[in-house]
Amino acid sequence: MKRTTTKLADGRELIYYDRDGSADRDTVDLRPLEPVDSRPELRLDLATGDWVTIASHRQGRVHHPPSDACPLCPSWDGHHSEIPAARYEVAVFENRFPSLAGRMGRCEVVCFTPEHGASFADLTEDRARLVLDAWTDRTENLSALPGVEQVYCFENRGAEIGVTLAHPHGQVYAFPFVPPRTAKMVAVADTHRRVTGGNLFEDLLAEARAAASRVVLAGKHWTAFVPYAARWPYEVHVYPHRRVPDLTHLTEAERAEFPGMYLELLRRFDRLFHRQEDASPPPPTPYISAWHQAPKTGGQELALHLELFTVRRSASRLKFLAGVESGMESFVNDVAPEYAARRLREVAS
């Protein structure tokens, strides 16, 4: 992998990732950009102990632009985007409208492909591996920044999720605090260690592999399964068989196997709600794909794993977070985990 770092016109960092070591990325951002003026604020919710980010400047961010004005497509004559190159494989840049910035962390955008109408599931295994390598590189570099507690790589796909740019992309957040879901998992894992003497995530993986009814895919180094108490209609967790804290600790064999499994899962998600008798398939399945990595402080029991889920519960119905979920954070799932796993096995390639 070749890594080329440059600057955008307003001083933000841009990084190209290429499989070809001879790729030339000597490009200049020609846009007359003003310096970024983002001043997010962290406020502590004294009732819960959770940090809340106030980022009012994000109200002015780009919202569903036409395809010929997409800021994530390559640049060409008459169109200057966030990526000055006329072509690229994977590109990462600092978000111009960040939720976290400066001493309060960092937000980056990861462009998976220059193809505007594609999706992650359309990538080849080689290109998906390049994205994995980019995630790993960003984890290593952002973890080294002063004050960063956790690095979170994720993708939101679909307008139903709230995506405002249709171009296939993900994000990386470098948190200056441990987010609530991570803190909860760390606390439960610590308790599990004291009570059982074992690691929570190793035991969850062993239990899932023993309960074949919830296994979706199993390889030599990774297993994808629906959790016993899944919160979302179709939710799959992907664990490496060897417990590691984050992406930087994966072996070459583990990195080599992951892209094929992940692409197959994404393609199955897109086939979930398609019936052969339908004249045309439903639109691509909206999803969130989230890497959970151990934080710097007190996270030695947390294991790297990916959580992939969709808010769609049928071809025509979405799972909305209503009063009990949004108000009390108490989930109610309309789809049995065992049924979800069976459907995901039925739509295999």
Angle between helices 125-143 and 252-271 (to 10 degrees): 120
> Among 62, 287, 293, which Cα is nearest to 175's?
293
pLDDT digits 0-9 by tens, 272-319: 998 766 667 667 999 999 999 999 999 999 999 999 999 999 988 999
> How much is the pLDDT for 25?
85
Residue 243 confidence (pLDDT): 98
Q: Over pLDDT 90: what percentage of the chain?
A: 85
Asked if 105 and 147 count as a contact pair (C-beta separation under 8 A), the reply is yes
Whether the predicted pLDDT of 29 surpasses 70: yes
The domains of the chain are located at 2-177, 181-346
Residue 343 has pLDDT above 70, yes or no: yes
Buried b vs exposed e over 56-76: b needs ≥16 C-beta within 10 Å? ebbeeeeeeeeeeebbbbbbe
Q: Which residue has the higher pLDDT, 195 or 279?
A: 195
Place of tokens 């992940």: 262
Q: Residue 37's pLDDT is what? A: 81
Of the candidates 57, 79, 80, 169, the residue annotated as catalytic is 169
pLDDT in tens, 57-94: 887 778 789 988 999 999 988 889 999 999 999 999 99
Q: What is the pLDDT of residue 277?
A: 61
2-177 matches 181-346 in fold: yes
User: Is pLDDT at 2 greater than 80 in this prediction?
Assistant: yes
- Convert the pLDDT of each residue in 135-146 to its tens digit: 999 999 999 999
Higher pLDDT, 15 or 39: 15
Q: Is 131:110 a contact under the CB 8 Å cutoff?
A: yes
pLDDT level of residue 174 (50, 70, 90 thresholds): very high
Is the pLDDT confidence value at 10 over 80? Answer: yes
Of 67-81, 176-190, 196-210, 235-249, where does mean pLDDT reach its minimum? Answer: 67-81
Q: What is the pLDDT of residue 279?
A: 64
**Mean pLDDT for the stretch of residues 28-33:** 92
**Total-model pTM:** 0.95
How confident is the model over 183-199, as a mean pLDDT?
98
CA distance 242 to 110: 27
Q: Which tokens hold the place of 296?
A: 């710097």
pLDDT at 15: 97
CATH architecture of 2-177: 2-Layer Sandwich (3.30)
- Please spell the DSSP secondary structure of 272-336, one letter per residue: TT--TTSSSPPPPPPEEEEEE---SSS-TT---EEEEEESEEETTEE----IIIIIH-----SS-
The CATH code of domain 181-346 reads 3.30.428.10
Per-residue pLDDT tens for 196-224? 999 999 999 999 999 899 999 999 999 99
Q: Is-catalytic flag, 305?
A: no
SS3 content of the chain, % helix, strand, coil (to 5): 30, 25, 45
